[in-house]
Structure 1
Amino acid sequence: MKVFYFIFVLILIATSSMSVPAQLDSLLKEVKTAKSDTAKLRSLMLVTEFCDIPDIEKYSNQCIELADKLLQSDQWNKTDVLFAKSTAINNLGFMYHVYSDYNEAIQQYEECIEIYKEIEDTLGISRGYNNIAMVYKDAGDTEKAIEFLSQAFKVASETGDYELHNITLTNFSNIYTQQGELDKAIEYLYKAIKLQEDHDDSRGLGHTYTTLASLFHSQQDFDQALVYCEKAVEKGLEANDYDVLGSAYNNLGFVYDLMGDDSLALLNYSISLNYREEVNDLKGIAETYSNLGSYFMDLGDTTKGIEYIEESVVLREKIGNQEGLGNSYQKLAGYYLDKGDINRALDYGEKSFEIAMKIGYTEDIENSALVLSKIYMKLNRFEEAYKMHVLYLEKRDMLFNKENQKKIIEQQVDYEYAKKHLADSLNTAKTLEIAELEKTYKQEQLDKANQRNAAMLIGMLLLIAVVIMAFFAYQNKRRSEKTISLQKLKVEEQKHLLEESNKEIMDSINYAHRIQTAILPSSEHFNKLLPNSFVLYKPKDIVAGDFYWLEEVENKVIFAAADCTGHGVPGAMVSVICSNALTKSVIEEKLTDPGKLLDRTRELVIQTLSKSGDEVKDGMDISLCQLNGKKLAWAGANNPLWLIKKGSREILEIKANKQPVGVYADPKPFDTHMVDLDEGDTIYVFSDGYHDQFGGGKGKKLKTTNFKKLLTENNHLNMEEVKFKLDEFFESWRGEFEQLDDVCIIGVRV
């Protein structure tokens, strides 16, 4: 059956009417052979409609020049000449729009609207508003787009013009899709479907069904996506519209590709390509090339895959399709990332991201941010990787969230219910008419039978009553069973959605963990620079706000234990920023004095966190040491330094400045303290997570008193044994209580 269907499609393509290139050639001949200026003007106007985008400017200018010449004479119909001129200007606007020259596009469309007003073409005015709205959409100015679209909708409603009403509804859907508001997008699509059904518009329905299919597969609802793809094909065949069929088969191929059905994916991509090549749909051809590229790369045929993607780039650059280019660049970035060619991956990744941000399309930003995050990770640009990953999560959640899915399903149910209700109403009317006829006939029969059938009638009525009672009892039972079954299915579905959501959250947290782990010094590096030391690091969650830090410069070892605002993912994000600021201050700016180092780090942290434009109060508490032989320089922000001299059972404490590394009401320079050390002295720097822990059987805080006692009692042990004792005591104290905060302790013996 599938083979027959494929052959039928190919026959349909082969028997098509005159192609676009043939029409264009015919029109160009008419321009050359036209016997009058008005005939030439008409042909030039049509050429601007059919020519390739790079040729629009040449032919439009010729058309405008001829129109202006004719307008100087009174012998021509002014309205017809102005209409031809406005068509050429409109196509110029379209060209500038495609090339992303948004200001010039708006200027051309506004000039069109002025001409439409002069010739009182209200439909043209509405079209102009629609066009300007779409320019603002692509420029990322949603507010302006909706403003002009509302004007277009008002004019279309007043005139009652179906085409404009339909286009405006579709454009509203496009804007809300771009913003990731899929429930609103689908609401307008269903309004468009209702309008198209009322006007028996197979072509319009085909396009709308294709768009709906795209929205459903973006939500991973492949069953519904296939339903609407097949509806689009059906309508495309009804209308014999190759544009609809090219898009519908491309979408079918894409859905089958996502579902892993390779043979059906390739079959539908091939059919789509045939249709699109037949009408010289360069934008569509580039889209199918791009999809075929991904298809072959997924199969492992990277050579063929890259060929298709690069061909899509050539076409998209030719026609100035910026959104498509961003998509192709993103795929090339992913390919070169997997291949290990990081520089080329970065080049394509940043190009893709720049285009996505310029256009503002949510799904494109999501995809390009994910690829860039992975590229920055490979380049050890961890702060940028983290920011990109956060942006990716934000855009992904905007598109694929449970509220969106719920509203989409509600829109679909409302639409299907409305259709069913209409059908049921018609059936009910017919049923009532039949019932009335039957009632009349039975009454006549009863009159003829008189009293001799009375007993039989009563018996039948009693029987019917019993049957009805039994039927309703059965229905109630079925309804109860169905309700229970539906509730069970709903619980199972919610369980599945919750499991999927939890998995996605855990994947994101694990990714953040990888980024944070990458900024922490390795145990090998720590032991190399501080051989007689330990780090006890116990994050409360998978990722932490606490971190430890280590660098060496000019034979000076600089290390710190830091506690950033919060814990978990928010704390981890701040820790990446603070760690990078410390590293930059030491490695790039060569600061080694602890006080000055914290002063500069504070400036960098405030500068980074203030980029959002909001008042940000995040920062860190830190205890920072610079060790040069037996000379110790130290500075602290809220967290102290503890020192145990060799053979002593007392802790010497150097207090920190009472201010964080971050925004503070009355900031002061951090003090640097100098300490002479002897061999066997032990230094401790730490966050507050250890001594703030609740437990001990009665739910009390561990407190610094117990912490100090534990350190002094075990000071005779080597550093690994001290670490073991600290960890053992902490877990024993915590017992069944939840860990309150992140824990970070560094111990160094001279």
Structure 2
Amino acid sequence: MNHFKFSFSKNKIQLIKLPLIIIGIINLFIIFPSYAQSNQKTTLDSLLKVIKNDISIKDKVNTYNLIANEYIPNDSLEIIKYTEQAINLAKKNNYYEGIVSAYYLRGGFYRKVRNIELAKKNYEQALSIAVENHFEEQQGDIFYQMAGILKRETKHEQAIESYKNAIQKFQKIDNKLKMGDANYQLGVLYFGKGMYDETIKTWEEALQNKKIINDKLGIATVYNAFGVLYDRLNQYDKVLFFYQKSLEIKKEIGDLKGMAKTYNNLGKVSQDKGITLKALEYYQKSLDIKKELDDKEGMSHTYHNIALIHKAQNSYDLAMGYMQKAIEINEKLDEKGSISYLYSSLGDLYEIKQEYDTALTYYRKALKIREQLQDKSNIASSYQDFASVYLVLKKYEEAISFIKKSIDIRQKLGEQAHLAQSYLVLGSIKYQQGDYKEVIKYLNNAIELAQKAEDPVVIQESAGILALAHQKSGNYKEAYQNQLLLKQMTDSLSNDENTKRITRLESEYEFKQVEDSLQKTNILQANQLEKEEIKNRSQRNFNILISATLFIVLILAFFIYRSQQKQKNLNTQLNEQKEALSLRGKELVEVNNELSTLNEELNQTQEEIIAQRDSIESQNILLEEQHQEIKYSIRAAQTIQNAILPLEEQMKQKLNDYFLIYRPRDVVSGDFYWLGSIGKTRIIGALDCTGHGVQGAFMSMIGFTILNKIVNTNKITKPEQILERLRKEIQQALRQKQTNQNNGMDAVIVTLEELDNNQTQVTFAGAKRPLWYIKNQETEIKEVKGSRISIGINYKDDRKITSETLVLPSGSLLYFGSDGLVDQNNMKREKLGTTKLKELLSQNALLPLNEQKEAIENALDEHMKDTKQRDDILWMGIKV
């Protein structure tokens, strides 16, 4: 359960001394946030008008920054444009606070769009200027945001230091609000690291600051956090105390969403303690509020929590009903991750009910979604689900296959606690097969990892099976030791379980009393209702008679009244028609005069239109001439670009069997391919330059020329050396260190050398592009990833491009190219995607390459039907 989904105040650098109109706009955002969201365009238009007025330099800089802030996070070009204008103007006038604000805004934008490297770069630039000018509050804001980035990158020690720096800066200016925010976030980090004493200390400091400024929402949030902490520490009384304190404040300030979350937390605690009736009560209150707020996602979570209660009570059908409600909501929200989790939970229920085919069906549904989301951790969970079912069905080979896949993923992800569970399942399978040596190995691993993760259930189950395995292997001493461990864990769990069971029995007794009371009340109500029904039936008959009489009298009166009204209305209409005819005559005279005047104006307008038409025709002739010149220039550029690309005869001679898909988005392309050879080494390149059209074509010609020089003149044949040399040459050619621009390219370089034993040595280096390959007579695609470096980008660290060498049997296939193919969208703005392309290549791997090309192009054409090509496309397939 994720307890930490709190909304806290967002720190922003202040823009100072704004003119009155800008202050008015900002106040509108603060007082009426919903108005601000629905009228963002109006606010933006107002700011764009302000910038044209005669205002001071500082006000102009601040307004540029406000305009950029309005575009976040939707329009990166506009954000860069207006912050750049703010920076340039502020630098000319030594207005350093404006420069800091602009870089800070950029950092925030890049953080929102998950471009962490650029976010850091802009925050660091802002921090450097803020430190130099002793801007304490701005330094604190930047340290706070940087800490958030470091926390996301799981660099927790660095994040802790950054929050401490933020707190120190906010203390200097005595900003209680921001001190409280930073202390709270620091406590969240300490909580995640299990440093509970430090967590308590920092949250107490946060609470103290929030109380001083009477930040009630902040106080409620910290109380809620303390509830989470003491839940972790199993101090039930304190959990209830802090959750109730948080709830009281949220009720006071009308924070319905916060109340729903706290009720949900109280329900979870009660559920964990076995107080079923109380848990259901809290969950129902949470659900009622979420329905009022139309919080579909929150309703889904609560339905699932209620389902888990019914599952624990062995009411499996009820549990399934609530899970289906949760699934229906998540399908409407398109929350695929939640749907996969619920499918997995339904599979668990069917597995408990021993309906294994249905369980496997739901596990497959969960796995399919998780594979689409590339959710590695939960894919491993699905594999373990399959293994547990196949273990029960005694299909041991299938069970082993799935659990080993699960273990492989969890080892790579470093999920120690989950890995212990997987080893337990694998040990259980090996025990059923009678392979006790393997049982001992895997279950020792399970116990070691479970002890680190403090998971007594895994330790208990592992120790029990391990004792039996040692006994059957004749290792009686080890069997005895594991029996002791089993007893120790069983006693510990029994104490906890007995406490929960007693509480649960009390809850079930209360639940039964309520149910019996309701049944008695229903019987009494039924008797009373029968008596009242007899009495009411007699009264109804009398009322019907009276009503019928009155109805007849009313109808007669209505017809008399309507006849009188008709005569009266007819007289009135005749008088009105007489007056209207008189007025109409006067109006016709006036209209005639107006038509005469209008006719004169139309004649004058016609003369103006004829003059404008002649002018437009002249402009059209000029535009057409210019258009033809541009078309001719672009066609000439296409001819030049085609002339430098390798000829088809050269490709066939050096590559034998290959296919090439080359589709410029415009007439000329920013993608290009290169082919050469030095001795027996054949060199092939596929490069994707910045931009497309004319800009990309110029870059491609620069790249092509430099590649010729590197390989043909300098005789360099190692792929990583070719790309490293290309990096330097591009930077020199474009003078990037002087101009500070980052135009460049992503690239693949492959060399082929035939060996004596009917094999080919393939050496690959990539700049942000991969190599895919399929071995001869196989269909499984394997991938070699390129280096995380783009040609032409300046990196602060000393990154190097590396290569990888493969030895493949003749007939193996290589695939590589630019990202234009997988990034092509359809009418629904869905990309073709890496997964779909890999499936397509795998399905057609055994076909000749010309048929593979046809299959890819057909799939691409079908995918992009009724849409425009978004980027240049280059894709190659080579049989070695």
TM class by smaller structure: 0.3 to 0.5
Give the alignment's TM-score, normalised by structure 2. Answer: 0.38
